[in-house]
A and B are shown apart, each in its own frame.
Chain A
């Protein structure tokens, strides 16, 4: 096992931890996409290009697309951000930010 694939594997672990730790759903979907990209490179280093192509097309493209669409459908992208922005604004304007 070369140094490059060790770095990639460490990156995978980091991504997996980050997906579960981040609170913003949009961020975790993007990190999950990064996970898939790195997984795709690892498949190539393991000499299975078929799996690499499928991982790139399905794991990175279709799965993240469906996640984004679901977040959009349940308004998890805009509504929470809007509420957060509004709260920050009121905290700034009122001058009594207790966060």
Chain B
């Protein structure tokens, strides 16, 4: 293909179709090979060099991994290995299938699971918890301490991820690394499309829907299927979609590391205190001050609505923080 032809837009397209060389890539290479002018550009060029070195090193590691995966193993060893694997697999499958055949039938009347506990939940659940959705009544009233434990575990997991992956901008040891990661060309997101219009239009349509659905699921946890956990996960997914399409600036304006800590700790403490109060005054059939309300109304079910909102906050914040920390090492 001649140079004159490649200058035309159509010629470019043909080149791209033939996969001679990526036009954009060639422009990028041309931009990189430019002579440095000022000090800033010198520094820039040095950093770019370092980045390319890192990339090369990564490729070396990857190719070594490939070679390790495709190394020559003696045939007998491979056959023995395969046979051993198959034997163990088949033995395991047989064992599990045998166990399954001895289990009682699904939904049978003489199940060990059909004892007085689920009977009590099904028969008295609506009167005692005031929640139309029996599952939420169970997990947020009878077994509310389990759910508190789950939320705490989630919070602990997010904190551990923060400890491991957060790059503190104020710490001396990590400040250069944090700065170099946050600067554009070395960020994880450098080669991704910045203003991808497909992603942005999809996010524009989907994010409000995800928020509405998530908030609906949280607030109606005691009436319809769902609850704080799933609703919070849906809202968190909407946040992640927005952040992927439009960048972190919008969210960072009101949501930082400190906000995260305060929100989640407040939600956990509210949960713990309100549930302690409820157990102190109303558990075990003693008369409670908190009215259960009319079943089916939005303000019913005693404390369940408040607890759902707390769990929803915890899960939403945790999902977003996990994404942000994985993505850029900071909230």
Tell me, yes or no, whether B184 is within 8 Å of chain A by CB.
Answer: no
What residues of chain B lie closer than 8 Å to A9, measured between beta carbons?
Answer: none
Tell me, yes or no, whether A31 is within 8 Å of chain B by CB.
Answer: no
What residues of chain B lie closer than 8 Å to A79, measured between beta carbons?
Answer: 58-59, 61-62
Most B CB within 10 A of own CB, among A23, A50, A73, A84 = A50
- In whole angstroms, how far apart are the Cα atoms of A58 and B240 in the complex? 13
Select the stretch in B96-104, B231-239, B250-258 that faces chain A.
Answer: B231-239
What residues of chain A lie closer than 8 Å to B225, measured between beta carbons?
Answer: 49-50, 52-53
In the complex, the answer to whether B237 meets A80 with C-beta atoms within 8 Å is no
Would you give the 0/1 interface string for A40-80, flagging 1 where the beta carbon is closer than 8 Å to chain B? 00000000111011101110011001100110110100011
Interface size class on chain A is: 20 to 34
Q: How far is the CB of B113 from chain A (nearest CB, A)?
A: 14
Which chain B residues numbered 47 to 69 have a C-beta less than 8 Å away from chain A? 58-59, 61-63, 65-66, 69
Chain B binding surface SS class = helix
Total interface residues on B, CB under 8 Å, equals 29
What residues of chain B lie closer than 8 Å to A80, measured between beta carbons?
Answer: 62, 65-66
Which chain B residues numbered 190 to 241 have a C-beta less than 8 Å away from chain A? 217, 225-227, 229-231, 233-234, 236-237, 240
Most A CB within 10 A of own CB, among B62, B226, B227 = B62
Which chain A residues numbered 14 to 42 have a C-beta less than 8 Å away from chain B? 23
- In whole angstroms, how far apart are the Cα atoms of A67 and B171 in the complex? 29
Residue in A closest to B57 when the chains form the complex, CB atoms: A79
In the complex, the answer to whether A57 meets B230 with C-beta atoms within 8 Å is yes
In the complex, the answer to whether B62 meets A83 with C-beta atoms within 8 Å is yes
- In whole angstroms, how far apart are the Cα atoms of A56 and B230 in the complex? 8
- In whole angstroms, how far apart are the Cα atoms of A50 and B136 in the complex? 9
- In whole angstroms, how far apart are the Cα atoms of A80 and B58 in the complex? 9
Q: How far is the CB of A78 from chain B (nearest CB, A)?
A: 8
In the complex, the answer to whether B236 meets A50 with C-beta atoms within 8 Å is no
- In whole angstroms, how far apart are the Cα atoms of A50 and B230 in the complex? 8
Q: How far is the CB of B202 from chain A (nearest CB, A)?
A: 15
In the complex, the answer to whether A58 meets B230 with C-beta atoms within 8 Å is yes
In the complex, the answer to whether B319 meets A62 with C-beta atoms within 8 Å is yes
Q: How far is the CB of B170 from chain A (nearest CB, A)?
A: 23
Most B CB within 10 A of own CB, among A56, A83, A84, A86 = A83
Select the stretch in B33-41, B71-79, B321-329 that faces chain A.
Answer: B321-329
B59, B233, B236: the one within 8 Å of A82 (CB) = B59
B61, B226, B322: the one within 8 Å of A66 (CB) = B322
In the complex with contacts A69-B323, A72-B188, A57-B234 CB distance below 8 A: yes
What residues of chain A lie closer than 8 Å to B264, measured between beta carbons?
Answer: none
In the complex, the answer to whether B217 meets A53 with C-beta atoms within 8 Å is yes
Tell me, yes or no, whether B133 is within 8 Å of chain A by CB.
Answer: yes
In the complex, the answer to whether A73 meets B326 with C-beta atoms within 8 Å is yes
What residues of chain B lie closer than 8 Å to A54, measured between beta carbons?
Answer: 226, 229-230, 233
- In whole angstroms, how far apart are the Cα atoms of A79 and B326 in the complex? 18
- In whole angstroms, how far apart are the Cα atoms of A32 and B133 in the complex? 30
A49, A61, A73, A87: the one within 8 Å of B237 (CB) = A61
21 A-B pairs with CB atoms under 8 Å apart are A23-B69, A50-B136, A50-B225, A50-B227, A53-B225, A54-B230, A57-B237, A58-B230, A62-B236, A65-B237, A65-B323, A66-B322, A66-B326, A69-B326, A70-B326, A73-B188, A79-B61, A80-B62, A83-B62, A83-B63, A87-B63
Extra contacts, 17 of them, besides A50-B225, A57-B233 (Cβ < 8 A), are A53-B217, A53-B225, A53-B226, A53-B230, A54-B230, A56-B230, A57-B230, A58-B229, A62-B233, A62-B237, A65-B240, A65-B323, A70-B326, A72-B326, A79-B61, A82-B59, A83-B59
Q: Residues of B at under 8 Å CB distance from A? A: 58-59, 61-63, 65-66, 69, 133, 135-136, 188, 217, 225-227, 229-231, 233-234, 236-237, 240, 319, 322-323, 326-327
